Amino acid sequence: MKHSFFVLAIAMLASLQLRAHDITVRSLAELQTAIGKAAPGDVILLANGVYTAAADIVIDRQGTKAKPITIAAQTVNGAEINGSGGFSIIKPAAHIVIKGFRFTHKAGRAKTAPGTTFCRWTRNVFETPGDGENLYIAGSDHEIDYNTFQHKNAMGRFLAIRGENAQIAERLWIHHNYFFDQQPQKGNGIETLQFGLSGFSMSSSNSIVEYNLFEQCAGENEMISVKASAVVLRYNTIRNCPAQFTLRHGNRCEVYGNYFVNTPGIRIFGDDHLIHSNYFENCKPAINIGNGDGEVADGAKLTCHDRPDRVLIAFNTLVNNPQNILQGGRNNGMGATAITLAHNIVQNSEAPAAELAGPNKDIVWTANLLHKVDKNGDMPASGYTSTDPKLAKDNTGTFHLQAGSPAKGSVKTAYPAIKTDMDGQPRKAPLDAGADQLSSAKRTAQILDPALVGQAAGR
C-alpha cells in the first residue's frame, strides 16, 4: 500500500512539474519574454484576443523531437496578430510549433530563416495584406499543415519555399493546407505556391507536397511553380484556378494522383519527371509539354525554359477537356526529347487528343485509349486504340473505371515506378490504363473539398 502511494505521489509530482511549463501570456511583450526563456517541452499559450505587433516576434530557441516548444493560441483561431510584425523563426531554432493563430499582420513577416530545422506551422489562418509572402520557408525538415491561406490581393505568394546558397530547403512536408482566393495582379511573382527559384533548381529537395486544396487562385499565369529537383506532388486538388501548375525548373520530380478540374492543367519543363495517375476534367489544356528555349545540361542559363527530356506521362485520365495534350509553338523552340506518353485515357473532347508544335525527337506513344474525341491529332495511329473505357462518376463526382472496362489489366509492360492510382490504392500487375486502378483496397485519396483541409478541417 505504501509502495503504491509512493508511486502515485511521484507520478503526481511529475505531472505538476510538466504542467509548470504550460505558460499563458496576455501580451506580445509577455509572449516574447516567455519565448526567450523557453525550454524543451514548454507550451506557451497566447490568451484569446487581438494583438498588434509593432515588431517581429523572434524565436531562436531549440526544442527536441520528443519535447518541442509549442507557441499556440489559447484556442484555435482565438488569437489574432495584426500590425507590422509576425513570427520570425531564426537560426538555430529547432523543433518549434506555431499553432492555431490568425495572422492579419503585414505580409512578408511570417518566416523561417535558413539554418532552422524541424519547425511546424499548423492550424493557422494567413490573411496578411500588402505585398510580400504570407509564409516564407527556408531551412529544412519543416512541416506546414492544416493552414488556411486566403484572400490575397497583392504581389507576392501565399507560400514561398527557399533555401541557402544554391541548396533548396530539404525534406519539407506540406500537406492538408487550403489555398483560397488569390486575386490576379499585373507582373510576375504572384504564384500561389512557389517552390524554389532558378538558382536552387539543380538541387534536390526530397520534399512532399500532398493533400492540399487550391481554389480560385489566379495571381499570375503560374499557380504552383516548382523550381527545384526531386519534389513529390501528390493527391492535391486544383479546382477553378485560372493559373497553371508548372514544373518550371529542375529535374526528377514526381507528380501523381492529383485532381485538376477547370484549370489550365500542368506544364512541364526539365528532365526525368514522372507524371502519372492524375485526373483532368474541363481543363484547357490538360497536359502541356513545354517547348524549351534552352538546354541546361548543355550549359544554358538556369533561367531558361529547360527543354523537357525523358519525361514519362502515363496512366492519366483526361475527361471533358477543351484541350488535351498540348505543346505550344515557340520562336526557335527546341521542343522536347524522349517523351513517353503511355496508357492514358482521353474521353469526350471536341479537341484533338494531341496537338504538338514540336520539334520533338524520339517521342513514344504507347497504348493510349481514346473515346469520343474529335480526332487523334498528333497522336499517331500506332499509339492509341479507340474504345469505350467505361468511365462513370462515383460518389466523389469523379470518373472511375467500371467493371468490364477494356482498360482493366490492359497493361502488360512492367512500370515499377507506378505504384498507386488516383485514389491512393496500390497498383498490382497487370495494371489498368488511366488514373484509376480497379481495386477493393481502401482508398487513401480523393478529390478534396474545404472540409478536409485547412485550419478548420476535422473540427
Q: What is the pLDDT of residues 371-397, one digit of tens each?
A: 999 999 999 999 999 999 999 999 999
**Which cell numbers in the block locate residue 173?**
512536408
**Residue 139 clears pLDDT 80, i.e. is over it:** yes
Domain count for the chain: 3
Residue 16 pLDDT: 41
135 CB-contact burial (10 Å; exposed 0-12 / middle 13-18 / buried 19+): buried
Residue 429, domain member (yes or no):
yes
Closest-CA residue to 60 (of 108, 94, 98):
94
Nearest 5°: the CA angle 262, 134, 214 is 15
Return the residue matching grid coordinates 509530482: 13
- Bridge partners for 329 per DSSP: none
What are the φ/ψ torsions at residue 52 (nearest 5 degrees)? -110, 120
Residue 9 pLDDT: 45
Torsion-angle region of 434 (φ positive above 0: left; ψ -120 to 50: alpha; else: beta):
left
What are the φ/ψ torsions at residue 34 (nearest 5 degrees)? -65, -40
Residue 4, domain member (yes or no):
no
What are the φ/ψ torsions at residue 368 (nearest 5 degrees)? -80, 155
Cβ atoms of 109 and 128 closer than 8 Å? yes
Residue 47, domain member (yes or no):
yes
The span from the CA of 267 to the CA of 294, in Å, is 16
The residue from 250, 270, 305 where one domain ends is 250
Tell me, what amino acid is at 217?
C
Residue 96, domain member (yes or no):
yes
The span from the CA of 369 to the CA of 377, in Å, is 14
Domain shared by 140 and 102, yes or no: no
Which residue range forms the structural domain that includes residue 176? 135-250
Residue 224 pLDDT: 97
Residue 458 pLDDT: 85
Greatest extent of the chain over all pairs of C-alpha atoms, in Å: 88
Strands 163-164 and 167-168: antiparallel
Over 172-208, what HEC string results? CEEECCEEEEECCCCCCCCCCEEEECHHHCCCEEEEE
**Residue 3 clears pLDDT 70, i.e. is over it:** no
Domain shared by 222 and 322, yes or no: no
Percent of the chain with pLDDT over 90: 94
- Bridge partners for 443 per DSSP: none
The residue from 86, 109, 129 where one domain ends is 129
Residue 437, domain member (yes or no):
yes
Residues in the chain: 459
CA distances from 130 to 105, 112, 133, 134, 187 (A): 9, 19, 9, 9, 15
pTM: 0.95
Within 335-441, strands assigned E span 336-337, 340-342, 345-349, 354-356, 360-361, 364-366, 368-373, 384-386, 391-393, 399-401
Over the Cα atoms of the chain, what is R_g?
24
Tell me, what amino acid is at 78?
G
CA distances from 455 to 33, 52, 149, 150 (A): 27, 22, 9, 11
Residue 219, domain member (yes or no):
yes
Residue 447 pLDDT class (50, 70, 90 cuts) = very high
When pLDDT is averaged across residues 334-340 and rounded to a whole number, the result is 98
Domain shared by 149 and 241, yes or no: yes
What are the φ/ψ torsions at residue 13 (nearest 5 degrees)? -65, -45
DSSP per-residue letters across 427-452: P-SSBPSSS-----SPP------GGG
**Which cell numbers in the block locate residue 61?**
530557441
Residue 1, domain member (yes or no):
no
Residue 14 pLDDT class (50, 70, 90 cuts) = very low
Residue 20 pLDDT: 41
Instruction: Count the alpha carbons within 13 Å of 419 in the hemisphere toward its beta carbon.
Output: 5
The span from the CA of 437 to the CA of 416, in Å, is 15
Domain shared by 213 and 182, yes or no: yes
Instruction: Count the alpha carbons within 13 Å of 396 in the hemisphere toward its beta carbon.
Output: 15
**Residue 15 clears pLDDT 80, i.e. is over it:** no
Domain shared by 179 and 66, yes or no: no
Residue 269, domain member (yes or no):
no
Domain shared by 125 and 239, yes or no: no
When pLDDT is averaged across residues 268-297 and rounded to a whole number, the result is 98
| DSSP for residue 296 | G
Domain shared by 307 and 455, yes or no: yes
Domain shared by 182 and 111, yes or no: no
What kind and span of H or E run contains 213?
strand 213-217
When pLDDT is averaged across residues 119-127 and rounded to a whole number, the result is 99
The residue from 75, 99, 129 where one domain ends is 129
Strands 69-73 and 43-46: parallel
| DSSP for residue 66 | S
Domain shared by 293 and 403, yes or no: yes
What kind and span of H or E run contains 88?
strand 87-89
Domain shared by 302 and 450, yes or no: yes
Domain shared by 216 and 364, yes or no: no
Residue 280 in 3-state DSSP? strand
Instruction: Using the CB atoms, write b or e for 44-78: b if 16+ within 10 Å.
Output: bbbbeeebebeebbebbbbbeeeebbbbbbeebbb
Domain shared by 143 and 99, yes or no: no
**Residue 108 clears pLDDT 70, i.e. is over it:** yes
The span from the CA of 348 to the CA of 373, in Å, is 5
Instruction: Count the alpha carbons within 13 Å of 198 in the hemisphere toward its beta carbon.
Output: 10
